[in-house]
Chain A
Amino acid sequence: MEKFEKMTAIVAPLDRSNVDTDAIIPKQFLKSIQRSGFGPNAFDEWRYLDHGEPGMDNSQRQVNPDFVLNQPRYQGANILLTRKNFGCGSSREHAPWALLDYGFKVIIAPSYADIFFNNCFKNGILPIVLDEAKVEQLFKEVVASEGYQLSVDLTAQVITTPSGEAMAFEVDAFRKHCLLNGLDDIGLTLQHVDAIKAYEARRKAEAPWLFN
């Protein structure tokens, strides 16, 4: 996993609540057996006017000019600003893979669905929770000024707006540590092999039917 420490980047505003993972990456793209290559199909049904299928040349497709990510001013955005309960629905990790492949390293929203939130951290994406009022303020600022950028500093846990306003955010200490160092969870867990084996031995004695 790639490390995340800090970034300053263009912000794209996706003004919808309850954006589900089916919308982030539609089902026909889940047939891939790879982890990469989902970016061109992120938000496929909103982004293009024609129906997308795996293997299509996306550069030849009919783009939906009304969809926010297609507007010239948001090209190159690495920060996604959105509304509450982002990433609800299916557990598909293809959703964060698609967002990351598109270029999003940071998401800012008032709340997230649990599985999606967790999946982000496993892939080097930082999902930041800000209260509704702050998110509303950022939406207004982003829309008002073209080229709007935010600076996100994970170490200091602070977002800085172009006017210099600092917005602090919370992040779980363990997840922060993993993101800052690009750590693989499996390697960390395998440091506790003895504890896992001890648990198994105890459990086998207590509940042998679980080890049939």
Chain B
Amino acid sequence: MAGKTLYDKLWDAHVVRCDDDGTCLIYIDRHLVHEVTSPQAFEGLRLAGRKPWRIDSVLATPDHNVPTTGQSAGVEGIADPIARIQVATLEQNVREFGITFFPMNDVRQGIVHVVGPEEGATLPGMTVVCGDSHTSTHGAFGALAHGIGTSEVEHVLATQCLVQKKMKNMLVSVDGQVGPSVTAKDIVLAIIGRIGTAGGTGHAIEFGGEAIRALSVEGRMTVCNMAIEAGARAGMVAVDEKTIDYFQGRPYAPKGELWDQAVAAWRELVSDADASFDTVVRIDAASIQPQVTWGTSPEMVVGISDTVPDPAREPDEVKADGMRRALEYMGLDANMAITDIPVDIVFIGSCTNSRIEDLREAAVVAKGRKVAATVKQALVVPGSGLVKKQAEQEGLDKIFIEAGFEWREPGCSMCLAMNADRLEPGERCASTSNRNFEGRQGQGGRTHLVSPSMAAAAAIKGHFTDVRELK
């Protein structure tokens, strides 16, 4: 019998029951909740007179709507009345149902995908869901994690299960070593550039290969975070010693004998040597340079030394049409050098790149330099209160502030612009977030996705620049 992939193992361990047609009930170990996709689910429970099945599996925090200044004022301090109602509704719901909650003025509050692992609330081998597509982040620890809709949020609250069919197995192997200043973000953008935004549809992707194993767990979170941008609901990386070390001593991680028992189980969370994948993609790590997206889909990405692609050279007419539309929206000309594109705004943050290592990476570039006069605003938004505290202990806040960046409070912020942090029409942003869709960061705003060090370098130069040449 052929061996099992990591995904096979995680799936098999969580099947409650299956119908003959392969429709199964999958047990969910951890349910993360935020204010945007949960109110209708709690309302559904109330209307049906249902109670949450296992409240100790649920952890909630507001992130999408929260302002990144003046958080100590709590919910009452949210200026936007509609956003305030949504965050207040979450507070009422968690109180009514007795769910663990990190409110706005709690140091543990932050972007739900940063908070879960930081608290050890996400663990290897778990099934993790959240009403947010970037839940794939948690797969970095050998967990099966994916985003769900609000109906499913209600379903998991009520039954602790999801109705699912097994996905296909895909292996993306990044072989060899990346060059200097090529980060996890560049790796995942290069993967999406290669397989496209629908390349992983219907699959769970395991990221492997020497370059993935060489990443820190935080880097692996960046890679898994964007699995959804390649179309895959779930991305994952096998457990190794780095994974296990990461959870040592975290508040919700097991302790004592339970820790030893858990670690023994976690070491099994790797694909067997003889496991077979439905699809295998191999990428040469050495060929990856720092990446910059030029269009309105994450697959529209090139290396920093490249030029903006020319639709005239695209044989597929539907694709060429999409490229032309993207260039028009982005206000770019085909064949121009990426390094000639100026930026108005720089955003360092989001569930993709707001952890301590991301901030350190950007600070190395910002240190002793100044944000270019032509850049209107450069924001640094830590992923959680604890990341912020750690960064301040290391003096990173001072480095950013001295360079002319704004040092903000945690939340999703300008990644999706549900709070006050947003682009104005026509503004161009170097962003460490995950989506460059039309209007994503504000109506008419133009987003270029980059790594934290590339964002910092663009802030310093006022245009995209090869961070390797800055050092």
Contacts and interface: CB of A to CB of B under 8 A. Distances in A.
Interface of A: 16-18, 20, 22-23, 26-28, 30-35, 45, 51, 54-55, 83-85, 88-93, 96, 111, 113-115, 118-119, 122-123, 172-174, 185-186, 188-190, 192, 195-196, 199-200, 203, 207-212
Interface stretch (B17-25, B349-357, B390-398): B17-25
Contact of A22 (B48, B147, B261, B435): B435
A196 B27 contact: yes
B319 to A, nearest CB: 8
B159 A23 contact: no
A91 B198 contact: no
A122 B149 CA distance: 9
20 contacts: A16-B325, A22-B439, A22-B440, A30-B64, A31-B82, A31-B85, A32-B82, A33-B86, A45-B443, A85-B197, A89-B437, A111-B201, A113-B198, A118-B152, A174-B19, A196-B25, A203-B27, A209-B254, A209-B261, A211-B56
B151 interface: yes
Given A26-B443, A88-B197, A186 B86 contact: no
Contacts of B149: 91-93, 96, 115, 118-119, 122
Nearest to A174: B23
A55 B319 CA distance: 37
Nearest to B154: A186
B417 interface: yes
Contact of A91 (B23, B86, B148, B202): B148
Interface residues of B, number: 75
Interface in B193-208: 197-198, 201-202
B233 A115 contact: yes
Interface in B261-299: 261-262, 265, 297
B228 to A, nearest CB: 8
A212 B252 contact: yes
In this complex, which of A84, A91, A199 has the most chain B Cβ atoms within 10 angstroms of its Cβ?
A91
B21 A122 contact: no
A186 B50 contact: yes
A59 to B, nearest CB: 20
Given A31-B80, A115-B148, 11 more contacts: A16-B322, A30-B36, A35-B43, A88-B231, A92-B149, A111-B201, A119-B151, A196-B25, A196-B27, A210-B123, A210-B125
In this complex, which of B40, B149, B158, B262 has the most chain A Cβ atoms within 10 angstroms of its Cβ?
B149
B159 A208 contact: no
In this complex, which of A22, A27, A84, A89 has the most chain B Cβ atoms within 10 angstroms of its Cβ?
A27
A196 B53 CA distance: 10
B54 to A, nearest CB: 8
B438 interface: yes
A184 to B, nearest CB: 8
Interface stretch (B69-77, B126-134, B301-309, B401-409): B126-134
A114 B159 CA distance: 22
Contacts of B19: 174
Nearest to B50: A186
Contacts of A33: 39-40, 43, 85-86, 89
Contact of B437 (A23, A83, A93, A209): A23
In this complex, which of B147, B155, B163, B416 has the most chain A Cβ atoms within 10 angstroms of its Cβ?
B163
Interface string B47-89: 0101001001000000011000000000000001011011001
Contacts of A22: 416, 435, 437-440
B174 to A, nearest CB: 23
Given A93-B150, A186-B154, A173 B21 contact: yes
Given A30-B36, A91-B131, A185-B155, A207 B201 contact: no
A91 B37 contact: yes
Contacts of B418: 27-28, 30-31
A84 B64 CA distance: 29
A115 B163 CA distance: 13
B215 interface: no
A209 B262 contact: yes
B40 A35 contact: yes
A208 to B, nearest CB: 6
A31 B159 contact: no
Contacts of A32: 82, 86
Contact of B197 (A18, A123, A173, A189): A18
Interface string B134-162: 00000000000011111110110011110
Nearest to A209: B254
A199 B27 contact: yes
B163 A189 contact: yes
Contacts of A196: 16, 25, 27, 53, 159-161
Nearest to A95: B149
Interface in B206-224: none
B40 A192 contact: no
B468 interface: no
Contacts of A172: 21, 23, 165
Nearest to A85: B198
B318 interface: yes
B470 interface: no
Contacts of A192: 16-17, 25
A178 to B, nearest CB: 9
Contacts of B261: 208-209
Interface string B24-36: 0101010000001
B258 interface: yes
A88 B198 CA distance: 8
B347 to A, nearest CB: 15
Contacts of B258: 208-209, 212
A30 B40 CA distance: 11
B439 A186 contact: no
Interface string B221-264: 00000001001110000000000000000001010001101100
A192 B289 CA distance: 51
A119 B151 CA distance: 7
B93 to A, nearest CB: 10
